[in-house]
Structures are given as structure tokens and as C-alpha cells.
Amino acid sequence: MQQLIKSTDLPHDIEKILSEIKHDKLFVLTDEHTARLCFPLLSNVAAIRGAGRIVIPANDTNKTLENLSHIWKHLTENGATRHSLLINLGGGMITDIGGFAAATFKRGIKYINIPTTLLGAVDAAVGGKTGINFEGFKNEIGAFYPAECVLISSHFFSTLNRKDILSGFAEMLKHALIHSEAEWEQLLAFDVAKIDYNWLNEAVFCSVSIKEAIVEKDPFEHNIRKALNLGHTIGHAFESFALESEKSVLHGYAVAWGLISELYMSHKICGFPKEKLQKTIKFIHRNYGAFSISCDDYEHLYKIMKHDKKNESSTINFTLLADIGDIKINQSADKELVFQSLDFYRDSVGL
């Protein structure tokens, strides 16, 4: 079970963690942005100053086999062993590819995640899913390989722009939908124009705890961990579709749009209450706008969904809700209903 730490003193907490995890050599992975903006916050930690530094290009489009190979090459050329330790300092792209590099280098080395984005903190950094994109598909190659520790520091959140805050917030909304109505109501009152960072920090840790509790019950996604896929089957299809056209969208935005379609299917298949569906859609449309698709794109989006890792045989596997907190995993929908859900999405966002 990975250790989850809410940090109030980043340098002190890192020093403490590094003293507790035995290692011979230390490496820090960043992207070009976090190398410039976030690494300096760690530079007064003595152990970090002597660490090997690996820098790769930013953005999810660079979560590739080529950059994974670059990480492996750096580790090899700088004498990393099975007893070395990797720190992943960045958003979801860095924790995904860094975790997979750690999982595969010399059959597995230890690593620590320090997420620098809200999305990274509430999603990618926690739960042990690692991977890279491949052949146009999101997270197509990867492994379950949990970090030794995930260190969440609220210091980073106040530096994020509106889009990055909202990208992470979509995953928090998903966690609330699968957990409790009280949390869902609280999150729908969130005002991105007037962010209370003290409230946000507490809400983030609560959201992470929801995910952590589910992962602890089902680390390899055989059962209840599939609850975390709400909004993701269609959301990932939107994301992969955007990647193909080289107009990438933020992961949390794709999930938010995916939630509209999958909550519609929840209403049609499981009886999810219409008023809660409409209330959630109103929040998403107001804050996330729209991803433009047409009826002509449905067949290709459906083809992408059929390639999703969660599927069994040729059946597209959805996580749906009968109500907030009432999870229905392993739900299937025929092609007609999937297309209806895409129609509903387009109507909901004014396309």
C-alpha cells in the first residue's frame, strides 16, 4: 500500500521520506515546464541537489515510447541499479511515464510521485496505474506498479491556471458522484473565478482518499476499482480522437464531457435521477464548454471505444450509476444507445 502524505513543508517532508526509503542513487524526472517552475522548490534539499536529473518535453502527446526510452537510457548511462530511487515531479504525464519507467527498469525500481497539478494529485499520481500512449491510443501500454509514496503539496495548486484547475476538478467531481451526494453538492458550488485554496486543499485530500480506499480494496481493477472509470470510456475516446487530429484536449475536460454521455446512459439503463443528471450537466457546460464532434464522427469514436482496455471480448464495458454513490460496474450498451448518448452530449453543450 503506497503512503499518502499531505505536505505542509515540502523540503522537510521530502528529506524525511528520502531518509526512510533505502536507495543507492537518486534521480528526478521532470518535464520542461516543471524543471523550470517546480524543481527550484526542491533545490534546497541536500539529497536533491546531488540527484541525477532527467527532463523530457511537456504535454500528454509526449507520453511516448521514445521518451520512455530516453528515461531508460539516462538511468542506464548514469549507473542506476535495482536499488535506485526515482522521483516523478510533474503532472499526470510525468507520473504515468515515470511510474512505467520505474516498473520496467531492471524489472522494477522504487519511485515517489510528487504531483504538481490538481489532476495529477487526484488522479494519475495515486493508485499505481502507469503507462504511455501508443499508436494513437491513450495509456495503451502500461503496468500496475504503485509508488512508495505520493506527496501532495498544496503549494503547487495556487500556481495553476483556470484550465488546469478545472481539469483536475473533473476527476474530483467523478469521485463525488461515485461516493456521496453531500460531496457532489459541495463540488457543484465551486466557483473557479473565486477559488478558496484552503477549501480546495481539503477537498483534494478528501477526493484522493476516496480513490485510495477503492484502490486498496481492488488494486488490479478486477471489481470495484472499475468505479473509477465513470466518464472515462467515452472521455478517453474524445481524448484519443483529439490526439489523432493533433488538437489535444486536457484529460479532465474529456472526462467531464464523457460524464455527460455516461450519466445519460446511467439514466436510460440504471434509472439515474434526471434532475441530478441535469444539475451535473449544467455545471459541466458552464465550466468546460464543448468538444466539437458531428454525427459523422460517431462511427470512429465507437471504434475507439471498442479498443478500450476495460472491454471484455467485443463488449464495450461502462461504469454507470443508479444514483450518486450507487455504482453499477460492467454495464454494456448497444451501439444505438451509445450513439444516442453522443447525440445527448451534443444537445447538452449546444453543438
Q: Kindly report, residue by residue over 93-146, the tens digit of the pLDDT.
A: 999 999 999 999 999 999 999 999 999 999 888 888 999 999 888 889 999 999
How confident is the model over 164-210, as pLDDT tens digits? 999 999 999 999 999 999 999 999 999 999 998 889 988 998 999 89
- What is the residue whose three cell numbers read 500500500? 1
Give, rounded to a whole angstrom, the gap between the first and last alpha carbons of the chain: 44
pLDDT of residue 44: 85
Q: Which stretches of the chain are DSSP H helices?
A: 10-20, 32-37, 46-49, 65-77, 92-104, 118-119, 162-179, 181-188, 197-217, 232-244, 251-265, 274-288, 298-306, 335-348
Spatial CB neighbours of 313, under 8 Å, sequence gap ≥ 6: none
- Integer Cα distance of 153 and 236 in angstroms: 28
Domain spans, the chain: 3-159, 163-348
**What amino acid is encoded at 75 in this protein?**
L
pTM of the model: 0.87
Class of domain 163-348: mainly alpha
How confident is the model over 252-279, as pLDDT tens digits? 999 999 999 999 999 999 999 999 999 9
Q: Which fold has domain 3-159?
A: Rossmann fold (3.40.50)
Three-class SS state of 282? helix
- What is the residue whose three cell numbers read 500512449? 133
